[in-house]
Structure 1
Amino acid sequence: MMIGLTIVAMGSSAPEIMVAATASFAGNTNTAVGNSIGSNITNIALVLGITALIKPLVVSSTTLKRELPIMLVITLIGVYFLADSELSRIEGIVLITLFVLVIAGMAVLSFTVEKNDPLVAEAGTDVPSDVAMSTAIFWVAVGLILLPTSAHFLVDSAVVIAKHFGISDLVIGLTIIAIGTSLPELAACVASVLKGEDDLALGNIIGSNIFNLLAVLAMPGLIAPGVIDESVANRDSLVMLGLSILLFVFCFNLRGSRRINRFEAATFLVIFIGYQYILFA
């Protein structure tokens, strides 16, 4: 359960964390912030939209019903911090502290969660049991080498593209980088839903969005605090908040079905396409 709630979601958010840190060290604060906000928008509107379009998602896990309000509260905190178009070091410290507290809370939750919770069984089946320790350590080492290297090339290349086409660093972070770093979530969600693991697919998105706002958004605050593009407060953070509220409504609708059907999935995709049009129009 601990692996399903934390390590899987954190692992799929690792590209965002590394890209945000790399961009922040390079002084591209808007790219880092755009990656955090854009990844959350992409996770809900594109990844969850495609996943639920393939197969409607049924929300049955008690754990997810607790995590969704937490994600919504953390989203509100992120929107509040970005409302003044500035991300301070104190706000970065608050976010990374909340990240540690959330991890600790999930660790406690893993010992108290109901054993018949669908997410427990689904998370358990995704943990390989036939991998040797030496093999696991080898691939972790490979990942730790390739991840910062690829993040460096991704950020540098995105900046070159932005300058060539006259696109802002923020928009590049919200689009190309956000979509690129959200591919692990897309792969994990599609694989989960094809195996009938609806709660794990949705849990991956919720966990990833929580980590994106706490760990990823904390990077520019800690490393390169300062003024950010006003569009983040006036447009992008509000789109992220709207999608988060919409996800909450779809999962806890008045009909009591607690599922994301294909119509709702199509709604997410239409919003994503419309948002991309606004960014590049």
Structure 2
Amino acid sequence: MDIVLLLIFGLAGLVIGGDLLVRGAVDLARRIGLSPLVIGLTLVGFGTSTPELVTSLQAAFAGSPGIAVGNVVGSNIANILLILGLAAVLAPVVVERNAFRRDGAVLALSALMCLVAVQYDSLSPTVGMVFITALIAYVAVTIIRERRSVAAEASIAIAQPKGLAEGSVWKDLVFVVGGLGLTILGARFLVTGAISIASSFGVSEAVIGLTIVAVGTSLPELVTTIAAARQGQSDIAFGNIVGSNIFNVLFIMGATALIKPIEVPASIASFDIWIMIGATALLLLFAVTRWRISRIEGALLLLAYVAYTAWLGLGAAS
């Protein structure tokens, strides 16, 4: 019962904290004139990836590399197959061509970097530094290009916050700080509960990290992506998935390896990383065929996720 409560409190903290963090960050970003695309690819992607970051760091320091690495790989798989699939089934997701030509290439590159990195026995600080540097370059180029293309609108947007009440800014800051605190606390509970489950039922930490922890930390992406898709804001819905997956690899795996080097479980290096590569390839293929993710394609993504989790379940049972 204690384990179940830890998981419930942990997941609740991640969902509520992630939601508060994203809301505060997005409102602050709009005050300085960032466009919806940049918000989706950077701040929303970063904010909804914060649970994965904190959870992976907690797991790494707790000596649970299966949860630390499985969380990143499993979250990327869940983001594409489960979350994007579900969003597309509810409402077809339109892909903006010009943005995807840039960001899709970065997504593919980050996935390949992850593939190469996990083939080694451990993720070293050197690997972490390379990943973090690549992320900084990506975010800088994204913001610079977007700001240049909407220079006039950005100038107007920057001038607008002067007329806003100071209280609203403070509310955004409270959301950001409070959301981050809840996320950290929720991650601690979730990791503790996941480790307890693995030890109690004899399930490997890698499987727990790839399933319960990965889906749990991906709940903020689920909420924001489905909400954006249903409101007709496909640029944020799709950009959230792309941005989150890029952040998961370059920032979360990079920061974790930089702060606390971690070993890579053999099962993830030999099997699950290839599922992540396959899911990324499907996303790229579906996106460029008609520049939209249709309901049928969304259903195929969902079926692929069901098959993947069933395979993991059979492996854990045996």
Fold match (TM-score > 0.5): yes
- Residue of structure 1 aligned with 2:73, choices 37, 44, 48: 37
- Residue of structure 2 aligned with 1:142, choices 178, 184, 199: 178
What is the CA distance between 1:109 and its match in structure 2? Answer: 2.3
What is the CA distance between 1:224 and its match in structure 2? Answer: 3.0
1:88 paired to 2:120: no
- In the TM superposition, 1:170-189 aligns within 5 A as 170-189=206-225
1:14 paired to 2:50: yes
What is the CA distance between 1:110 and its match in structure 2? Answer: 2.3
- In the TM superposition, 1:1-281 aligns within 5 A as 1=35, 2-113=38-149, 132-253=168-289, 257-281=290-314
Aligned 8 A contact 2:65 2:265 in 1: no
Give the structure-1-normalised TM-score.
0.90
Residues 132-167 of structure 1 deviation map (CA, whole Å, 9 limit, x = unaligned): 112112222212221211111111111101111111
Distance 2:142 2:281 in 1: 22
Equivalent residue for 1:123? none
How much is the aligned-residue C-alpha RMSD, in angstroms? 1.9
Partner secondary structure for residue 132 of structure 1: helix
Distance 1:209 1:216 in 2: 10
Distance 1:200 1:142 in 2: 24
Distance 2:235 2:121 in 1: 35
User: Between Structure 1 and Structure 2, whose CA radius of gyration is higher?
Assistant: 2
Aligned 8 A contact 1:64 1:199 in 2: no
Distance 2:303 2:211 in 1: 16
Distance 2:305 2:242 in 1: 18
Greater shift after overlay, 131-140 or 156-165? 131-140
Query: Residue type of the partner of 1:269?
Result: L
Gaps of 5+ in 2: 1-34, 155-163
Distance 1:113 1:61 in 2: 15
Distance 1:58 1:137 in 2: 32
Distance 2:210 2:308 in 1: 10
Greater shift after overlay, 21-30 or 267-276? 21-30
What is the CA distance between 1:88 and its match in structure 2? Answer: 1.7
Query: Residue type of the partner of 1:37?
Result: V
Distance 1:231 1:10 in 2: 28
What is the CA distance between 1:226 and its match in structure 2? Answer: 4.3
Aligned 8 A contact 1:58 1:260 in 2: yes
Distance 1:61 1:183 in 2: 27
Aligned 8 A contact 1:85 1:232 in 2: no
What is the CA distance between 1:24 and its match in structure 2? Answer: 1.2
Query: Residue type of the partner of 2:243?
Result: G
Query: Residue type of the partner of 2:252?
Result: V
Distance 1:46 1:226 in 2: 27
Aligned 8 A contact 1:63 1:113 in 2: no
What is the CA distance between 1:231 and its match in structure 2? Answer: 1.2
Partner secondary structure for residue 24 of structure 1: helix
Gaps of 5+ in 1: 121-128
Greater shift after overlay, 236-245 or 258-267? 258-267
What is the CA distance between 1:61 and its match in structure 2? Answer: 4.5
What is the CA distance between 1:86 and its match in structure 2? Answer: 2.5
Structure with the bigger percentage of helix: 2
Residue-pair matches, total: 267
Query: Residue type of the partner of 2:244?
Result: S
Q: State the identity %.
A: 38
Give the structure-2-normalised TM-score.
0.79
Query: Residue type of the partner of 1:67?
Result: D
